[in-house]
Amino acid sequence: METIVIALGGNALLSPKGRQSVSKELGIMNTIAKSIAKLANRYKIVITHGNGTQVGDELLKNMNSKIEPLPLYLLNAETQGSIGSSIETVLDSDRPKRGFCTVVTHAIVDRRDGAFRKPSKPIGPFYSRRELLAELRKERFSYVMERGLYRRVVPSPKPIGIVEIGQIRHLLEKYNVICGGGGGIPVFKKGGAYAGASAVIDKDHTTQLIANMVGAKKMVILTGTDYLYRDFSDKSTFVKRISANDLKEMLGMLEEGTIRPKAEACARFVELGGEAAYIGSIGKLEEVLSGRSGTTVER
């Protein structure tokens, strides 16, 4: 039985424009649970997921709490557990032959990674200009503009290893695995142990790393859009099929921190031995895999 890795976008699971809602998150998961359950009869499944909105919300709660705030890497651990639990609960309700289990995952980074000097990963809610200025009066932080709104950014180093990869491979022999949530809890080697890093890893890079390390044939990145677009503002520029080499050449045209990591991950997955990678809407998994929707990346 071949392995397929499916990445669920954090913003697609829960709209960043509204207040965090568990019921909304579960409702969106229910729309794709049956499609994933069908795949469980043909594939060993690994599911990863984003958490940019959720970890950002937890960061805001920490800032406004009288209790000492948790470091960013532990907020990642919290949201991995909560989102993983939601996904696992919904998927197991369809009772596939191979059940699902969640692995809280640590991703190894290099503490010398240049990303620590140049924050680029968007997290948390979107702000209007007025809201941003109000937030900056409370606390200084880096931010970027996305589609006319503003969003906080934090360091996003590349993952170079997965601490639990042995356990993930072992579990895949009997179960489907939910892991790598939010890109993993960022850690670096410090002496003979690991220490947490104040960063958020892009889940698409971690998804690709896990996909290649478990020998997956296919990798699907599900997000809030139907296709990869050469120009997101012009929906006629959608890409239906593209080679990994051609995709690498157009990376400079894509928005950093949002769609570019998805494209980079797809190109690298195929380069390192994957059969095909896909980018498409979180509600159209079956259509994306069949080529009726979404972008297919091949050799």
| 191: annotated active-site residue | no
Calculate the alpha carbon distances from 181 to 52, 82, 85, 162, 233 in Å: 10, 10, 11, 12, 29
The catalytic position among 262, 274, 284, 294 is 262
| 203: annotated active-site residue | yes
Alpha-carbon distance 120 to 128, whole Å?
Answer: 19
| 11: annotated active-site residue | yes
Q: How many CB atoms lie within 10 A of CB 96?
A: 18
Alpha-carbon distance 27 to 21, whole Å?
Answer: 10
User: How would DSSP label each residue in 28-43?
Assistant: HHHHHHHHHHHHTTTS
The catalytic position among 9, 180, 182, 203 is 203
Q: Return the C-alpha torsion angle 188, 185, 124, 236, nearest 10.
A: 90
The catalytic position among 44, 121, 158, 218 is 121
Asked whether the beta carbons of 286 and 39 are under 8 A apart, the reply is no
Nearest to 206 by CA among 51, 40, 15, 55: 51
| 284: annotated active-site residue | no
Helix crossing, 72-92 with 52-63: angle to 10°? 130
The DSSP bridge partners found for residue 106 are 185
Asked whether the beta carbons of 72 and 200 are under 8 A apart, the reply is yes
The catalytic position among 9, 10, 50, 84 is 10
The amino acid sitting at 83 is I
Nearest to 82 by CA among 57, 116, 114: 57
Instruction: Please give the positions annotated as active site.
Output: 10-11, 121, 203, 262
